[in-house]
Amino acid sequence: MTKEVQILDVTIRDGSYAIDYKYKPAQVAEISAALDKAGIQMIEVSHGCGLGARENLGIAAAASDREYVEAAKQAVKQAKVGVIAGPDVVTKKRDIDSVAKHVDFIRFAANCDNVRAVEPNLAYAKKLNIDCFFQMMRASRLDPKKFLEAAATVEKMGASTVYVVDTAGHFMPNEVKKLISQMKERLSVKVGFHGHNNLGLAVANTVAAIEAGADAVDASLRGMGRASGNAQLEALVSLMKRMGLAKGIDLDLLLQAAEKFIEPVMPAQKGISRMDITTGDANIDLYPMSLFELLAKDSGAGFTDFIRRLAAHKDMTEVDFRQVAETIRHFGGDPERIFKKYGIDKAIKAMKDDTI
């Protein structure tokens, strides 16, 4: 292969899930400097849940998004630094303003069946002359034809790169290759891929995306990321070099960075957990997993049975309280009582409004 494929590192952003968002700016600077020195082209550094999640969602983090961005920008010489952002409930325009002068890109994330949820924020960022990428999340839950239609909408919204996101880690390489190929045929903008490792296929799926013509792919040191993690950067670079790619990336420096900066903080785990394999197999993404374990227990259901019942809702892209309530009832539980027990106010309000 002769076309260069860009790598976007998510060790800091997606990896922050694994350590409860406790990266300190000094750590962000060290990791960013190491990635930059090794030749990685793009680095994503915001709160794992998105720009503004600490302030707007109340999800604690060790520092602000701006502090992370500034730490990374000061540490790199060549790599582009950016953040991930969401709809208004996660990311306010003031949050975009806070990093606008410091970032090289903002990647907007929305479920693939509701891409317009971030359109106002994306349009605002474009007015600030920020390069905008797009994460089409939970791609495996949507019919491919509908997914391609949504991707065309994203292109019209002005994203310069559109990423297929295998949030549940459910795709197989042949499915990734087909979907990426179809996107390359239909879109005039760049196409990317973001994999998760629930079924141990994150690297294989990323290679399949590259073979299908992807322009950009995501990876992280040691595969550090939410749940089972992402494609492991070091392994991916090794394989890309065998494909005639990643010529400007120093694999040895990445291996050293992973050992020095990630190994000391990454939670120890051998193999993929039962729950990550179950959610990948069932093609469903659950976060936070601990909450759903409690809901299952209070419903009198085994967690695996609860997951599979919830995933059986074929019209669902992202889990919402309507499907959760139905699943709780299926196992003989009282959803209103259980939601109240765990302070899920949105669910309680929805029930009173007869929307569940």
How far lies 68's CA from each of 32, 62, 75, 132, 265, in Å?
10, 10, 11, 19, 17
The answer on 253 and 214 residing in a single domain is: yes
Strand partners, 161: 133, 190
Is position 267 within any domain?
no
**Euclidean distance between CA atoms 242 and 293, whole angstroms:** 42
CA pseudo-torsion sign 205, 211, 213, 215: positive
User: What DSSP designation does 267 have?
Assistant: P
The answer on 235 and 295 residing in a single domain is: no
Q: Give the closest residue to 88 by CA, choosing from 46, 140, 124.
A: 124
For residue 346, what pLDDT is reported? 64
135-144, 194-203, 305-314: the lowest-pLDDT one: 305-314
- Mean pLDDT, residues 250-255: 98
CATH of residue 184: 3.20.20.70
- Mean pLDDT, residues 333-337: 93
Could you tell me the two tokens for 198? 């629930």
The answer on 258 and 320 residing in a single domain is: no
The letter for the amino acid at 285 is D
pLDDT at residue 259 greater than cutoff 50: yes
The answer on 315 and 198 residing in a single domain is: no
Beta strands in the chain (DSSP E): 6-9, 42-44, 80-85, 105-111, 131-137, 161-165, 190-194, 216-219
Q: Give the closest residue to 170 by CA, choosing from 146, 201, 193, 194.
A: 201
pLDDT at residue 65 greater than cutoff 80: yes
**Euclidean distance between CA atoms 208 and 108, whole angstroms:** 24
Is the distance from CB of 74 to CB of 18 less than 8 angstroms?
no
pLDDT at residue 354 greater than cutoff 80: no
The residue assigned the tokens 């259980």 is 338
pLDDT at residue 258 greater than cutoff 60: yes
**Euclidean distance between CA atoms 1 and 277, whole angstroms:** 33
Averaged pLDDT score across all residues of the chain: 94
The answer on 144 and 79 residing in a single domain is: yes
The answer on 109 and 251 residing in a single domain is: yes
Angle 173-186/144-157 helices, nearest 10 degrees? 40
Residue after which a domain boundary falls, among 215, 247, 262: 262
Is position 279 within any domain?
no
Is position 64 within any domain?
yes
3-state secondary structure of 156: helix
Is position 270 within any domain?
no
The answer on 293 and 226 residing in a single domain is: no
For residue 356, what pLDDT is reported? 37
Tens-digit pLDDT profile for residues 200-245? 999 999 999 999 999 999 999 999 999 999 999 999 999 999 999 9
The answer on 176 and 44 residing in a single domain is: yes
The answer on 147 and 24 residing in a single domain is: yes
Residue after which a domain boundary falls, among 262, 297, 322: 262
How many CB atoms neighbour CB 305 within 10 A? 14
Q: Which residues contact 271 (CB under 8 A, 6 or more apart)?
A: none
Q: Which letter, b or e, does each residue of 1-18 get, where b requires 16 or more Cβ atoms within 10 Å of its Cβ?
A: eeeebbbbbbbbbbbbbb
**Euclidean distance between CA atoms 39 and 71, whole angstroms:** 18
Indicate the number of domains in the chain. 2
pLDDT at residue 344 greater than cutoff 90: no
- What share of the chain has pLDDT > 90, as a percent? 88
Is position 205 within any domain?
yes
For residue 320, what pLDDT is reported? 85
Tens-digit pLDDT profile for residues 263-314? 999 988 778 988 899 999 999 999 888 999 999 999 999 999 999 999 998 8
Is position 273 within any domain?
no
* Structure-model confidence comparison of residues 258 and 344, the more confident one: 258
Residue after which a domain boundary falls, among 262, 294, 326: 262
Is the distance from CB of 237 to CB of 249 less than 8 angstroms?
yes
Is position 89 within any domain?
yes
pLDDT at residue 69 greater than cutoff 60: yes
- Mean pLDDT, residues 54-81: 97
Is position 124 within any domain?
yes
How far lies 338's CA from each of 178, 287, 306, 308, 322, in Å?
42, 17, 14, 19, 14
pTM, 2 dp: 0.91
The answer on 307 and 231 residing in a single domain is: no
Q: Which domain holds residue 149?
A: 6-262
The answer on 306 and 176 residing in a single domain is: no
The answer on 248 and 292 residing in a single domain is: no
How many CB atoms neighbour CB 272 within 10 A? 17
